[in-house]
């Protein structure tokens, strides 16, 4: 919250923002997670919503009225929908989705695992490391950050980038097989 408060000039606006943050952050997270169905993306949406709300603090009169809650929810919904559309355009497969696909195809399970393992080995070391720590070893983001001496946000970003790159590698392999 200190980051947000540093963006606000007046003490009165800082107090107003603090009350809004404490009162509505969970509601906003719930709204974002309901749309995105991804906790990290929902956190990003709430963060972006709070940044946008800072620019419109003068429009908010009372911190605990229905109009304020409606305004915050609408802002969060719009940002979440934008993120959802962006993600859909990028057509990103999460590692979990790849694993579900592999588990459903039990006949070729070993072949697919070899393909995924090979694809992971083709990733840069910082991407493959976070993927293996997260999904193979079962570490959470905080533990990975401590092990690698990086920030949690950096861990999440590396995982996201690794998933994108992994999806690209697997799509390239599928295209080669069809030729």
The domain at 2-90 falls in which architecture?
Orthogonal Bundle (1.10)
Total length of the chain: 179
Predicted pLDDT at 64: 64
CATH of 95-178, one of 2.30.110.10, 1.10.10.10, 3.40.50.920, 3.40.50.970: 1.10.10.10
Q: Please check whether residue 115 is in contact with residue 173, taking contact to mean a CB–CB distance below 8 angstroms.
A: yes
Across the 179 residues of the chain, what is the mean pLDDT of every consecutive 10-residue run?
58 77 88 88 88 79 75 89 81 61 54 72 84 82 86 91 87 54
Predicted pLDDT at 101: 59
Q: Give the separation between CA 50 and CA 36, rounded to whole angstroms.
A: 17
Q: Which residues contact 18 (CB under 8 A, 6 or more apart)?
A: 1, 5
Note if the pTM is more than 0.95: no
Q: Give the separation between CA 38 and CA 23, rounded to whole angstroms.
A: 22
Residue found under tokens 């959802």: 84
């Amino acid at each position: 919250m200190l980051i947000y408060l540093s963006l606000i000039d007046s003490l009165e606006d800082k107090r107003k923002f603090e009350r809004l943050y404490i009162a509505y952050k969970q509601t906003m997270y719930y709204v974002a997670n309901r749309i995105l169905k991804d906790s990290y993306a929902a956190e990003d949406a709430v963060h972006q919503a709070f940044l946008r709300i800072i620019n419109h603090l003068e429009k908010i009169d009372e911190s605990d009225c229905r109009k304020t809650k409606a305004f915050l929810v609408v802002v969060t919904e719009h940002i979440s929908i934008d993120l959802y559309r962006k993600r859909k355009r990028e057509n990103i497969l999460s590692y979990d989705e790849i694993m579900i696909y592999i588990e459903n195809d039990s006949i070729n399970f070993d072949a697919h695992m070899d393909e995924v393992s090979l694809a992971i080995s083709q990733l840069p070391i910082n991407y493959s490391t976070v993927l293996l720590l997260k999904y193979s070893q079962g570490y959470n983001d905080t533990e990975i950050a401590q092990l690698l001496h990086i920030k949690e946000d950096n861990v999440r970003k590396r995982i996201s980038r690794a998933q994108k790159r992994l999806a690209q590698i697997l799509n390239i392999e599928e295209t080669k097989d069809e030729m």
